[in-house]
Structure 1
Amino acid sequence: MIETETIQKKGETYFLNLRLLLITTVFVGNAIEPLIGKIVGMHSLYLWIFTFHMPLFVLVTGYFAKSNLKGAQGRNLLLQIAVQYVIFQTLYSVLDQTLFHVQNIHRSFFAPYLLLWFLISHICWRLITIAIHKFTGTQQIALSLILGVLVGYLQLDGVWLSISRTFVYLPFFLIGYHLSFEKFVLFFTTWKRVTAASVSLTLLIVIALFMLGLPEGWLFGSMTYTQLGQHHWYAGAMRLAIYALQFISATAFLAFVPTVHCWMTELGRRTLYVFLLHGLLIRFAAISGIYNYVSTMSGALLVIAFACLLTLLLAQARVKQWAHPFIEPKVTWIIRLERLALGRPL
């Protein structure tokens, strides 16, 4: 029992450290997006980040879903995510209209605003995982890969209800959900970590030399094959190739994650705050015109440094104390209303 608890604790520590690294790459990726067309190296870095950061973020989300997928805790979390979505979908949409003046964005609760797709998909991943619980882990992952390929053939806008990303990233959620950290530790030995780190850095070089023409839409997972300009019946083969790229890149990036409890661990508990709030800072930076003054590598490195710094600031306990009612809203009032409506005792 003690050994099992120790493994679970080490697993929690490892994936909290990973969460902080991933939210940092999310912030950096979004911060350098306006620079990818005018500063050498930024496009390569951008594509490299997108080969692993969302797949791994979804995997980590699946890993932590083990402890609260079902029961009252799971239900309350689903309600909380739904309230988060309503709050931030409204906030971002209002600011877009009144302050940011961003054009060509679907403003609807059925079309998640930019990064908010993750909330809708998170709800769906949990519900799908519950729905297919009778299948073995291997069968679930195999089924999810098939669905991830097939969803691209739908003749609709993949943004609506985040249907495309939900199924494209579902395999990573299920891999995380069924991941045994004990087996992972035994497999990911020191020499394999060194090899994996080398693979990750090599991949960055390969992207810079040979893959700059890869449409980002394949890595976003938000577009159908038709939207990506692929009308052939075998377009799904490209999705499988992207899956292979993402799996290799994600596995390789794991080599950079500290395995011990450190300053990163507690910050990793508050990455949701960074995720939901950093989009506001990105929008403010965009309308401020600051990117007009960034045209050199040194300027780009400064942008990256600020993104890393702001990640650490948004993950501070004081930010959680201030933003807690909006980021992790209480849902007891919804449960009370439901019981009143159904005539159940409070």
Structure 2
Amino acid sequence: MVRQMFPAGYERAPLPPAQPEGERTAKVADRSPKPPTRTSGSEQGRGRDPFFDNAKYLTIVLVGLGHAWLPLRSDSRAAEALYYALYTFHMPAFIIISGYLSRSFEARPGQVKRLITGIAIPYLVFEIAFTFFIRAVENPDREFTLLNPGYALWFLVALFIWRLTAPVWNALRWPLPIALAIAAAATTCPGIGNDLNLQRVLQFLPFFVLGMRLRPEHFEMLRRRELKVAAVPIMAAALAFAYWAVPRMNKDWFLRDNAAQDLGVPWWVGVVMTLALFGCALLLTACFFAWVPTHRTWFTTLGAGTICAYLLHVYPIQLSRIYDWYAMPWVDSPTGRIIITVITAVMMTALCTPPVRRAFRWVMEPKLDWAFRRDPVDQARARARG
């Protein structure tokens, strides 16, 4: 009866020959788990790819330069062209890296803890601090709200939302086209409003999803010498096009915080601009990544402090606006613009240094172990490290 349950032609495979007791014991011993081997700190450090730390540092410097150049645009078409070119790719590059580093997010307890302590808590603290700062130096009646992120703090809100949705993008078959469709649809919906800066969250979403889909071999392709050389004329052409576009294009397209109708154009223009800016951003971001050093440099360690620079540079930038530092006579000249650029680069570098990170670790990396359950995966990894 049992044989009738199997298809015709089925025959039970013969049992393997018996093995001597000694051989069986040896094979079982080979399959037993081996004790973890300890690695030195330098060996563990070599597992971290310096390319991404270099890229993070360079992009955060560009973020600071973009904010510092903003008041210089009205006096110089060349400065405006640099602003256009920079805003085409500097935030997309930063977001692509963030997406790439979020590929393994699965909402495990340890990952959720780091999401809350590393993004949500700093946002709450710095949003409150920024509100009191603006009340003290400019507007005593500034409204207190956590739904309208202050200057530059929108990125923490966006990163929190994007990373929470990472398991969804990992599960989809065509995540990037879907993300592009969402971004394009957002440009046609002026009713989305400013709560949590959702326009930017949705319009920048494709870059985060793209970063999640990238693999190490994609970045390896950009390290080829011919691509480094090709990036030079591409960047030069982008600057020339930006110079031509200055009097013809609204800079607010680069900020991605408005719908097309808010910019005075039909809804379908938003769809076209979404795809066009995405393509331009990819091209210039690839050029930028091609130039990022792949070896350890003097600024590699500074890549770990980019969140400090991002959150802290807001205050001197705002002070420069409030007290009109740009009105000083020496600023309105090519030499003055160069000096502003150097000062900003030095400031962003200083804010990435380990002493600044240590000083603000209590708020940017709070432990709060008492508020969270322990993650079994993290505990197992800690035991494996010895």
TM (norm. structure 1) is 0.88
Deviations 1:205-261 (A, max 9, x none): 221133443212111111111222223445311221121221112112222211111
Q: Which aligned pairs between 1:321-340 and structure 2 lie closer than 5 A? A: 321-335=358-372
Deviations 1:150-186 (A, max 9, x none): 0112232543212111111111111111211124314
Matched, 1:292 2:330: no
Distance in 2, Cα, partners of 1:209 & 1:27: 25
CA shift for structure 1 position 94: 1.2
Distance in 1, Cα, partners of 2:315 & 2:370: 28
Distance in 2, Cα, partners of 1:23 & 1:69: 27
Distance in 1, Cα, partners of 2:247 & 2:188: 25
Quick one: structure 1 residues 55 and 106, their matched pair in 2 at CA, closer, same or farther if it must change by over 3 Å?
farther
Give the letter for the 2:129 counterpart. L
Residue of structure 2 equivalent to 1:101: 139
Instruction: Give the 3-state SS of the residue equivalent to 2:183 in structure 1.
Output: helix
Distance in 2, Cα, partners of 1:125 & 1:135: 15
Quick one: structure 1 residues 321 and 188, their matched pair in 2 at CA, closer, same or farther if it must change by over 3 Å?
closer
Residue of structure 1 equivalent to 2:113: 76
Quick one: structure 1 residues 156 and 102, their matched pair in 2 at CA, closer, same or farther if it must change by over 3 Å?
farther
Residue of structure 2 equivalent to 1:116: 153
Residue of structure 1 equivalent to 2:96: 59
Residue of structure 1 equivalent to 2:129: 91
Residue of structure 2 equivalent to 1:279: 314
Deviations 1:41-64 (A, max 9, x none): 211111111000100110011111
Distance in 2, Cα, partners of 1:9 & 1:174: 27
Instruction: Give the 3-state SS of the residue equivalent to 1:114 in structure 2.
Output: coil
Distance in 2, Cα, partners of 1:231 & 1:102: 38
Q: Which aligned pairs between 1:182-221 and structure 2 lie closer than 5 A? A: 182-186=217-221, 188-221=223-256
Superposition RMSD on alpha carbons, in Å?
2.2
Q: Which structure 2 residue ranges, 5 or more long, are not aligned?
A: 1-42, 374-386
Matched, 1:170 2:208: no
Q: Verify the 8 A CA contact 1:20 1:264 in the aligned structure 2.
A: yes
Structure whose alpha-carbon radius of gyration is higher: 2
Q: Verify the 8 A CA contact 2:103 2:166 in the aligned structure 1.
A: no
More divergent stretch after superposition (155-164 vs 264-273): 155-164
Residue of structure 2 equivalent to 1:304: 341
* Greater fraction helix: 1
Q: What is the percentage of aligned positions where both structures have the same residue? A: 24
Quick one: structure 1 residues 332 and 162, their matched pair in 2 at CA, closer, same or farther if it must change by over 3 Å?
farther
Matched, 1:246 2:281: yes
CA shift for structure 1 position 266: 0.5
Within the candidate set 22, 27, 31, 2:68 is matched to 31
Distance in 2, Cα, partners of 1:227 & 1:69: 37
Q: How many residues align?
A: 327
Quick one: structure 1 residues 75 and 255, their matched pair in 2 at CA, closer, same or farther if it must change by over 3 Å?
same
Distance in 1, Cα, partners of 2:348 & 2:206: 27
Quick one: structure 1 residues 330 and 216, their matched pair in 2 at CA, closer, same or farther if it must change by over 3 Å?
farther
Give the letter for the 2:125 counterpart. I
Residue of structure 2 equivalent to 1:134: 171
Q: Verify the 8 A CA contact 1:96 1:102 in the aligned structure 2.
A: yes
Distance in 1, Cα, partners of 2:76 & 2:222: 39
Instruction: Give the 3-state SS of the residue equivalent to 1:110 in structure 2.
Output: coil
Within the candidate set 23, 45, 50, 2:87 is matched to 50
Q: Verify the 8 A CA contact 1:149 1:239 in the aligned structure 2.
A: yes
